[in-house]
Chains A and B, each alone.
Chain A
């Protein structure tokens, strides 16, 4: 306290959110509803009523692996097994490339460990022709779309067979034919682009919808807010995904969320229906994605979904999370592991067992190893096995203009 004239006034103090180190994650994952507890609203339910869900959590799988409640998706056992396989393949893919990084074969890598259900589940819930605008942790989208693993690996290795000609950092994939927009690396820029793509589809009376992806930390970027304004104003057919994995490199979610209770809260101010969903529950992911997609296809506009999950690994191979993360965080994470939970469900309904699981693990490992052997045979940026440097002058413009032809000539043929 201090005095100004006759008055006694409080001195201002700035609140800096406290780092999470030392706290247990269960304390930080708020509003965990019971599986099956949440009602499933009609597609055209009033936003005010859907908004009540933003401080709850849509969950389908209970602790025993039973699928319960209104959000249970109507999908076949075969489709569930496919989801399990896609997640296991994604995890095996990540593990192999992390090993390649330790072997010095690649320069950089980012895994999606623990978050596989979100990308894998949503990819299966949408249709061919729809376009995802992903961040760098949605490799599950490409893998579930059956994009060739060897092409992904060639990209990561920046070798001569890299579809992107060594222009992008590892994992910044692009494949229009597989519904996967070119990853920028600048955060949040793709969010408003997805809205624009969806607007274009509606402007041309198309049938395709867009899906925007962002991490919870990057929602602090202004492009996120531009995207919500545009999506709301034009009622664009877009799914606005926020993957809340609790960590933006070393920064806990609190820094981007501010004093709001949840990231799903963000939707309410824009009159965008917003769900908060268990991102480690494959069936909940599928059902919520399907609900949002059906809303978009019915001209009911955008849906925001906050996915609760955990970044189990480091941010990237350049990061050491032991400095800032509480120990045992993944083990104590209350939403468990997405692969184990879907496996448990399939076992619960009598459609899976330990032998089949071991066999599937061997199968996906072999598939990854085979692709890696092929990609590795082409070498990598680490071994100098890259394409011609002259290709860097291509695709700057549709045609190579004079000044770039001159610069290409000036560079000569260095290799």
Chain B
């Protein structure tokens, strides 16, 4: 085991995948010579050569469109969109092309590619460096959507995503790149080296796409979370003295419904949290699943704590971000019902 940040774990996953399969190629804006603005691909070009890892023009549609063509040829491209906020020009290529190629060609052509994107807020990024667009992908037939919360999962899931035969959207909450940020922005950051999930095995391992992880066992209520909000919910539970069971969903599509149902049937209460805007967010899907499958075990209505339905603000970031206070209040409300 080696202590790694999430950035180092993602970098290590690239190395392992590229060593095992010559068909894995990595490209995107600034990812080659420079190694990416978040350094996730640092050293890959030097190690594997510029035919395996290279820079691209500033064209998200071009990056993903070219990746679709490469994947159809037989490669396994793993591309980076510099910020999830910039993926919209590539959305047509993701939705109409990568996601549907296997289906529309009846398996004649496939698109085994990974689109990595730093996502989420907490870095004073304003409205163009903070968005969480996961629901725009989960709503699309043919895409797998992964959101990671820690170095261990990031490495295992990225390797699984690159090895997967379907297109995978791989979302990396940038606020947890360097430590398990719990929403207490006023406090110094805890590094991953002081957290058990920062212990990352060397060599190859993969985590099955479609399996949730019980982040914290508990019996009072269930929190369905992913990404940064896993750590926020953890802090809120500790601070409120509530024995919350926190499920880190890890993959949104396919979803580990069994893990959700087992936990909610046990606790009888459910809180859904995410950074993305509330309305039509993935939390609505989770809430509906809980209602459909666990209604007679529920002792309270399922609540959601999410980003407000506004553009992501700059100056008012901490009023927008669903931090431990808001999550804690919702936990108390659930327990009082």
Contacts and interface: CB of A to CB of B under 8 A. Distances in A.
Given A174-B106, A230-B66, A398-B102, A203 B166 contact: no
B61 A163 contact: no
A199 interface: yes
A184 B97 contact: yes
B218 interface: no
Contact of B68 (A168, A196, A398): A196
B110 to A, nearest CB: 7
B142 A396 contact: yes
A189 B66 contact: no
Interface stretch (A80-88, A138-146, A219-227, A306-314): A219-227
Nearest to B103: A395
B89 interface: yes
Interface stretch (B69-77, B219-227, B230-238, B307-315): B69-77
Nearest to B142: A396
A405 to B, nearest CB: 11
Interface stretch (A46-54, A175-183, A276-284, A325-333): A175-183
A189 B96 contact: yes
B62 A230 contact: yes
B75 A182 contact: no
Interface in B12-70: 22-23, 25, 51, 56-57, 59, 61-62, 65-70
A226 B69 contact: no
Contacts of B23: 204
B210 interface: yes
Nearest to B257: A402
Contact of A227 (B65, B105, B109, B255): B65
Contact of A163 (B51, B69, B74, B106): B106
A210 B72 CA distance: 12
Contact of B108 (A174, A186, A191, A403): A174
B65 A196 contact: yes
A189 B72 CA distance: 14
Contacts of A402: 210, 254, 257
B119 to A, nearest CB: 23
Nearest to B101: A182
B207 to A, nearest CB: 16
B165 interface: yes
B56, B75, B105 — most chain A CB neighbours (10 Å): B105
B67 A226 contact: no
Contact of B66 (A168, A196, A396): A196
A229 B96 CA distance: 22
Contact of B65 (A163, A210, A226, A233): A226
Interface string B235-271: 0000000000000000001110100000000000000
A192 B97 CA distance: 11
B77 to A, nearest CB: 8
A223 B89 CA distance: 9
Interface residues of A, number: 45
Given A182-B108, A193-B68, A226-B61, A203 B51 contact: yes
B7 to A, nearest CB: 26
A186 B108 CA distance: 19
A200 interface: yes
A401 interface: yes
Given A186-B97, A189-B96, A398-B165, A196 B106 contact: no
B21 to A, nearest CB: 12
Interface in A377-415: 394-398, 401-403
Contact of A181 (B74, B75, B109): B109
A193 B74 CA distance: 13
Contact of B89 (A168, A184, A222): A222
B93 interface: yes
Contacts of A230: 56-57, 59, 62, 66
A101 interface: no
Contacts of B75: 200, 203-204
Contact of A193 (B25, B56, B66, B144): B66
A201 interface: yes
A176 B102 CA distance: 12
B188 interface: no
B141 interface: yes
A191 to B, nearest CB: 8
A27 B105 CA distance: 42
Contact of B69 (A210, A229, A394): A210
B141 A229 contact: no
B106 A167 contact: yes
A394 B105 CA distance: 11
Contacts of B74: 200, 204
B92 interface: yes
Contacts of B51: 203
Interface in A152-185: 163-165, 167-168, 172, 174-176, 181-182, 184
Contacts of B204: none
A340 B62 CA distance: 40
B276 to A, nearest CB: 20
A192 B62 contact: yes
Contact of A397 (B66, B93, B102): B102
Contacts of B25: 200, 203
Contacts of A201: 73
B104 interface: yes
A387 to B, nearest CB: 11
A413 B168 CA distance: 31
A197 B69 CA distance: 4
B96 A184 contact: yes
Interface of B: 22-23, 25, 51, 56-57, 59, 61-62, 65-70, 72-75, 89, 92-93, 96-97, 101-110, 141-142, 144, 164-166, 210, 253-255, 257
17 contacts: A164-B104, A164-B105, A168-B104, A174-B108, A184-B96, A193-B68, A196-B70, A200-B69, A200-B74, A203-B70, A222-B61, A229-B57, A230-B62, A230-B66, A397-B142, A397-B166, A403-B255
Given A196-B67, A200-B74, A227-B62, 7 more contacts: A174-B104, A176-B105, A186-B92, A189-B96, A204-B75, A226-B59, A230-B62
Interface of A: 131, 133, 163-165, 167-168, 172, 174-176, 181-182, 184, 186, 189, 191-201, 203-204, 210, 222-223, 226-227, 229-230, 233, 394-398, 401-403
